[in-house]
A = this chain, B = another copy of it.
C-alpha cells in the first residue's frame, strides 16, 4: 500500500512511451477530497528543473488537486521551452480532471538536458486518467512509473489508531544527498489538517529523514517531496501526532532508498554524538558519509578507522581530537588519542555497518544514512548516461 492507502486518493501508473524501453513512465496521484491541503519541499540546488520551478509556484497556495510525475526525462537545463512543457503538462492534467492548472504539481526525473517528448506525454495523461483507481495495485503502478535506476518500487503506509493514515512512495537510487537528491516522493493522508500545519509537519519530517540520507553527496536538480491531505477520514489531527506518523512514513521510505541505492553492497549508519550542536553532528556525519576512502574501506569490510578520523578532521565543525572515540559495529577502535583495540576485532563482513563517532564535547546527536562505494556504483554510473 502506498499513496492509495489513505482514503480520498486515486492513482495510476502507465507506459506513455517517454522511456525507450517501454516501461511505466507516467504517474498520476489525485486527491478527491473533501479537502485538498498540500505542502512541498524542494531541492536546494541552484540549478532547478522546470517542474521544480512550477511546483514551487503552485504550492504557494498550499492546495493541490493532483500530481503528475514522469520518469525518463528530468526536464532540467531546458530553458524557457522546457518550462513551457511543464506548464502544458499541468494544463493537460487540469483539463482532464476539470480543475485549474494552478492545482497541479509536476515532477520529472531522468536525464538532464533533454526535452520532454510531449507527443508521447500528453496522450499518456489521458491514458493515466482512465486508469485512475483507489486500490493498492494503482498505488503500486504509480510508485513503479517514477523509477529510474531503482531496482524496485518503494512504498510505505502507516496507520494511526484514530482512523487515519499516511501513505507514500519514493524513488531515487543515485545523486542521493544532501537534502534529497534525485529523489521524488509523494505522500498522502486522509487526516484533516490545514495547509500551514501540513507544511510545518513536512519540513519537520524531511529534516530528520530524507535530509539525512547521503549516498554520494549529489543533490539533484529535481528533488521534490509532496504531501497531500484529503481529510476523508473526518478526523482533525493533532499536529504533533501527525508529524510523528509522517516522520515514521518518511523514515520507512528512506530506509528503502538507502538499501536500494546504486551499487550498494553495504548500508552504513553513521551516528555522531557528543557534538556541541545538532548542525555539527550532521556536518561531520555527512563528511564521513561522502568520503570515498571511508566508503571504499567499508566496501572492503575493512574497519579502517584512520580514514574516519581523517574525514571527521576536515569537517567544518568543533572537534577535540583527544576526546574523540570511534567505534565500528560496537567495537571502540580509537579513544583517548590513540588506538583502543586492534581493528581485527571489528567484524564488518555483514551487509549493515554501524559507525559511532563520539565527540565527547556536548549533548547533540545525529545519524546519517549512507552506503559503500563499490565496483557496482562505478559501473552503473560510467557505463550509462543518467
Residues of A at under 8 Å CB distance from B? Answer: 44-48, 74, 76-82, 111-114, 174-175, 216-221, 290-293, 296-297, 299-300, 302, 304-307, 309-314, 319, 321, 333-334, 336-339, 343, 373-375, 377-379, 381-383, 385
Q: Which of B77, B314, B339, B373 meets A378, CB within 8 Å?
A: B373
How far does the alpha carbon of A143 sit from the alpha carbon of B379 in the complex, in Å?
A: 35
Whether A334 touches B46, Cβ cut-off 8 Å, given contacts A175-B310, A218-B310, A292-B216, is: no
B292 touches A382 (CB 8 A): no
Given the interface pairs A45-B310, A305-B113, the reply to whether A217 lies near B292 with Cβ below 8 Å is yes
Q: Are B47 and A312 in contact, with the CB atoms below 8 A?
A: yes
Contacts of A217 in B (CB 8 A): 290-292
Q: Shortest CB–CB separation between residue A47 and chain B, in angstroms?
A: 3
Q: In the complex, which residue of chain B has the Cβ closest to the Cβ of A222?
A: B310
Contact B382 A313 (CB under 8 A): no
Taking CB atoms, residues of chain B closer than 8 Å to A46 are 313-314, 319, 321
In the complex, chain B residues whose CB is within 8 Å of the CB of A310: 45, 47, 112, 175, 218-221
- Determine whether the beta carbon of A112 is less than 8 Å from that of B306: yes
Q: Establish whether residues B293 and A174, one from each chain, have CB atoms under 8 Å apart when the complex forms.
A: yes
Tell which of B307, B337, B383 touches A112, judged by Cβ atoms closer than 8 Å: B307
Having A113-B306, A113-B309, A217-B290, one finds 8 other A-B pairs with CB under 8 Å, namely A47-B310, A76-B306, A112-B305, A175-B293, A217-B292, A292-B373, A296-B381, A302-B385
The answer to whether A385 touches B304, judged by C-beta atoms less than 8 angstroms apart, is: yes
**Whole-angstrom distance from the CB of A177 to the nearest CB of chain B?**
10
12 contacts between A and B (CB under 8 A): A47-B310, A47-B321, A48-B321, A80-B337, A113-B333, A174-B293, A175-B310, A218-B307, A296-B378, A302-B382, A373-B378, A375-B379
Query: For residue A318, which residue of chain B has the nearest CB?
Result: B46
Tell me the complex Cα distance, A382–B265, Å: 12
State in angstroms the CA–CA spacing of A291 and B124 once bound together.
35
| CB <8 Å contact, B334 and A77 | yes
A218-B293, A310-B218 known; A79 vs B336 contact (CB < 8 Å): yes
A99 to B297, CA, bound (A): 43
Asked whether, in the complex, the Cβ of B375 is within 8 Å of the Cβ of A378, the reply is yes
Which of B216, B219, B297, B334 touches A381 (beta carbons < 8 Å)? Answer: B297
Kindly state the separation between the CA atoms of A70 and B61 in the bound complex, as whole angstroms: 65
Q: How far is the CB of A165 from chain B (nearest CB, A)?
A: 35
- Contact A112 B309, beta carbon cutoff 8 Å: yes
Known A-B contacts A292-B217, A310-B175; A78 and B339 likewise in contact (beta carbons under 8 Å):
yes
Please name the residue on chain B nearest to A376 by beta carbon.
B378
CA separation between A237 and B37, bound complex, in Å? 74
Q: Please indicate the chain B residues that have their CB under 8 angstroms from the CB of A174 in the complex.
A: 293
B111 & A377 in contact (Cβ 8 Å cutoff)? no
Of B45, B296, B299, the residue contacting A314 (CB under 8 A) is: B45
Task: Give the shortest distance, in Å, between A145 (CB) and chain B (any CB).
Answer: 22
- Is B313 a contact partner of A45 (Cβ separation < 8 A)? yes
B113 touches A219 (CB 8 A): no
**Which residue of the partner chain B has the closest CB to A383?**
B300
CB closest residue in chain B, given A287? B217
Contact between B113 and A339, CB atoms less than 8 A apart: yes
- Tell me the minimal C-beta distance from A318 to chain B in angstroms: 9
